[in-house]
Amino acid sequence: MLFILYINDLPNCPSNSVGRMYADDTQMTFASNNIETINDVMNLDLSNVNTWLSANKLTLNSSKTEFMLIGSRQRLVTYDTSPKLILAGNIIKQVSSVKSLGVHIDENLSWNMHIEKKAKKIASGIGAIKRCRPFVNQTTLESVFNALDQPYFNYCSEVCGHCNKSLSNKLQKLQNRAVRILTFSSYDSSADPLFEQLNWRRLDTQRQIQVATMVYKSIHGLAPNYLGSLVTKYDPPYNLRNSENKLAVP
Rounded Cα distance between 62 and 53, Å, is 13
DSSP string, 81-118: -----EETTEEPEE-SEEEETTEEEETT--SHHHHHHH
Tell whether the model's pLDDT for residue 240 goes beyond 90.
no
Last residue within a domain, chosen from 86, 106, 126? 106
The domain of 8 spans: 2-106
What is the predicted pLDDT for the residue at 228? 86
Rounded Cα distance between 97 and 122, Å, is 21
Contact between 77 and 42 under an 8 Å Cβ cutoff? The reply is no
Band (118; pLDDT cuts 50, 70, 90):
very high
pTM as predicted:
0.84
Mean pLDDT over 135-140 rounds to 92
Q: For the chain, what is the mean pLDDT?
A: 91
Percent above pLDDT 70 for the chain: 99
What is the predicted pLDDT for the residue at 60? 84
Domain count of the fold of the chain: 2
71 versus 236: the higher-pLDDT residue is 71
Tell whether the model's pLDDT for residue 243 goes beyond 90.
no
> Both 178 and 124 in a single domain?
yes
Rounded Cα distance between 81 and 97, Å, is 18
Last residue within a domain, chosen from 106, 124, 152? 106
CA end-to-end distance (rounded Å), the chain? 36
Residue 85 included in any domain:
yes
Residue 239 included in any domain:
no
